Structure 1
Amino acid sequence: MTLGGSWGQDRIPAARYDAARDAMHAAHRAGITLFDHADIYIGGDSETVFGRILAEDAELRRDVQVQTKCGIRLPGNTAPEGSPVHYRLDRDTVRSSLEGSLERLGLDRVERLFVHRPDPLTPVAATAAALDELHDEGLIGSVGLSNVTPHHVVAFQHHLRTPVTAVQLQLSLAHRDFVESQVLANHPDGTAVSFPGGLLAQCAAEEIEIQAWGALAGGMYSGAPATGGTAGHGAAALVAELAERMGLPREAVVVGWLLRHPYGIRPVVGTLDPQRIAACAQAPRAAELMTHEDWYALWTAARGRPLP
């Protein structure tokens, strides 16, 4: 998200190209070839930086795939100053958003275009028709849905001819409602869980990829200054202990906790630090080494109290 610099900047700092280049090449070396974007990220600057670096490197351009998102309207970014933050998924907005992304990225198509958040004022049928047009023109390979419920998935699938191939949600040790919702039925704590019930099982059954944004939880368990209170400190200590036992970086353990889940979660790694990117690439090994008890111990430490 911050590949292009900082929110609110007037221009892209020259040093940002060097940092982005290092991050992109570190990911490529680690075998990461799918890159996640959105039209709003740093006002489009993240896509601009990415596109310019792709243009420099034929090998990188050949190997990478790109997905991007549309639909969030931010004042002074994708919407005029003075407007409220809102969501818009009418035909013209969807098309113009993608066209802007393709121009900034220097690409003819993207593998997947995400609906970033649902728009209550635009009928799903209208958005689906716009997405089908883009697919028919060869501008997108498939559709993704971000921050949605099972009902949104069903509605889009009903109206789309284009396949829905991914759902992206915030999932991590810090955002655990996807597992809390599985065990807190008939328990008072269940009333505080907001995760859309049945969504992961629905995606798994229909072979829709589940992508986890915020997979590293901002680094709170793997080296960032602790801000999560006692639970955050306890989970960070356990992550360090498991990392030492496994002989792996802490980031690998944090991301490996998601990979250990049976629904095939694909983490979106947001760090630009080449060392942390390389560390995250070792998450599959951490998932292999993580026992049933390890996984539950991490969950319990992160939640700060025993399971019922």
Structure 2
Amino acid sequence: MRLAYGCMGLGSAGSAPTDEEVDRAEAAVRTAYDIGIRLFDHADIYGGGSAEAVFGTVLARNPGLRDQLEIQTKCGIVLGGAENGNAYDLSREHILASVEGSLARLGIDRLDRLLLHRPDPLARPEEIADAFDVLRAEGTVRGFGVSNMAASHIAHLRSAVDQPLEVDQVELGLHHRDLIEAGVLVNHPDARAYAPVAGTLEYCTDHAITVQAYGPLGQGRFTGRPRGPEDEATAALVRRYADELGAAPEAVVLGWLLKHPADVVAVIGTTDPGRIRACADAEAVGEAMTRHQWWSLWSAARGKPVP
């Protein structure tokens, strides 16, 4: 299934999980599981660590569930790591310590995958390679990937890292289309705005790196929470196509993304069981969606025709 569940919304920063939070998380996880989702995505900073802790409690409540799931987490962002904000740290020591903390909060002994959350300008690829080798040899991490990285970042890492980089998780969807826009604005004045990410989808496809898209529903802006006139027009078109395709609006928004030949995996983050269920048919909707519908949705979301 080309849907994953993003656990950012589970738990609350700075406090121990309450029974109510665990109940809400369990309902979301169970609903995601029931529609066929098996990949659950975390990061050590989500909820200041409470998202992993809540999920760990859900696993403890449901013996045997862990072995039916694929669990990945991310490391590298240090909240408050600079005087005026956050910092990124992909040093060997930080990676190893982050994995130890995530395993403890999740209450498990291995991760199916570890992603590097953001590019660190001070990172040394050979340090990352060494950390990955240690984690793989220990059996605490089975696979590796990156997040928020362009083709150039991935190529730089691959020059030193022996372990395959399986995933690049990026923000992508009908609302945030940069990686797709970059592919059609060649020889156009707007191309400069997308130059840093140009070729990333193609690079990932060529090197068997799965693109995971976070934020694919755009926080509901096309399915019930429009932010402005542009969103209203796109939402109206989404509703019309939902009627034509016999699907929920959420499935249409996700179907637009899943129709792309990069075989993207959409990471949905809603904690509302009803909205989770509304995403279930996204792959089928993507297959049924016509080119005319796909291009019409893109133009509507852009607010202007594709050049």
Match of 1:36 among 7, 17, 41: 41
Q: Does 2:161 align with 1:160?
A: yes
Q: State the distance in 2 between where 1:289 and 1:258 align.
A: 13
Match of 1:45 among 32, 50, 57: 50
**CA deviation map 1:202-222 (0-9, x unaligned):** 111111111001111111111
Deviation at 1:195, TM superposition (A): 5.2
Q: State the distance in 2 between where 1:258 and 1:28 align.
A: 21
The residue that corresponds to 1:26 in the other structure is 31
Paired residues for 1:192-207 under 5 Å: 192-194=193-195, 196-207=197-208
Deviation at 1:65, TM superposition (A): 1.1
Paired residues for 1:176-215 under 5 Å: 176-194=177-195, 196-215=197-216
Paired residues for 1:117-266 under 5 Å: 117-194=118-195, 196-224=197-225, 226-227=226-227, 229-266=228-265
Runs of 4+ in 1 over 6 A off after TM superposition: none
Paired residues for 1:63-82 under 5 Å: 63-75=68-80, 79=81
Q: State the distance in 2 between where 1:92 and 1:187 align.
A: 44
Match of 1:13 among 5, 18, 24: 18
Q: State the distance in 1 between where 2:54 and 2:71 align.
A: 14
Q: State the distance in 2 between where 1:184 and 1:4 align.
A: 38
**Contact 1:20 1:50 (8 Å CA) reproduced:** yes
The residue that corresponds to 1:99 in the other structure is 100
Deviation at 1:137, TM superposition (A): 1.1
**Contact 2:25 2:271 (8 Å CA) reproduced:** yes
- What secondary structure sits across from 2:143 in the alignment? strand
Query: Sequence identity, in percent?
Result: 43
The residue that corresponds to 1:84 in the other structure is 85
Question: Which runs of 5 or more residues in structure 1 are unaligned?
Answer: none
Deviation at 1:132, TM superposition (A): 1.6
Deviation at 1:156, TM superposition (A): 1.7
- What secondary structure sits across from 1:69 in the alignment? strand
Deviation at 1:99, TM superposition (A): 0.4
**CA deviation map 1:2-57 (0-9, x unaligned):** 443334x4343331111101000001101101100000000110000001111111
TM-score (norm 2): 0.94
Worse-matched range after superposition: 52-61 or 258-267: 52-61
Partner amino acid, structure 2, of 1:137: E
Partner amino acid, structure 1, of 2:73: T
Deviation at 1:162, TM superposition (A): 1.3
Q: State the distance in 2 between where 1:126 and 1:92 align.
A: 9
Partner amino acid, structure 1, of 2:290: T
**CA deviation map 1:35-88 (0-9, x unaligned):** 00000000110000001111111242221110000000002xxx59x5731000
Worse-matched range after superposition: 143-152 or 41-50: 143-152
Point out which structure has higher relative CO (alpha carbons under 8 A, 6+ apart).
Answer: 2
Partner amino acid, structure 2, of 1:32: I
Deviation at 1:136, TM superposition (A): 1.4
**CA deviation map 1:236-284 (0-9, x unaligned):** 1100100011111000000111100011000001111111111112101
Q: State the distance in 1 between where 2:120 and 2:201 align.
A: 22
Question: Which runs of 5 or more residues in structure 2 are unaligned?
Answer: 1-6
**Contact 1:168 1:212 (8 Å CA) reproduced:** yes
**Contact 2:11 2:54 (8 Å CA) reproduced:** no
TM-score (norm 1): 0.94
Worse-matched range after superposition: 34-43 or 140-149: 140-149
**CA deviation map 1:114-149 (0-9, x unaligned):** 000011112111112111211111111111111112
Partner amino acid, structure 1, of 2:121: P
- What secondary structure sits across from 1:271 in the alignment? coil
**Contact 2:125 2:161 (8 Å CA) reproduced:** no
Q: State the distance in 2 between where 1:275 and 1:130 align.
A: 40
Number of corresponding residues: 301
Partner amino acid, structure 1, of 2:267: V
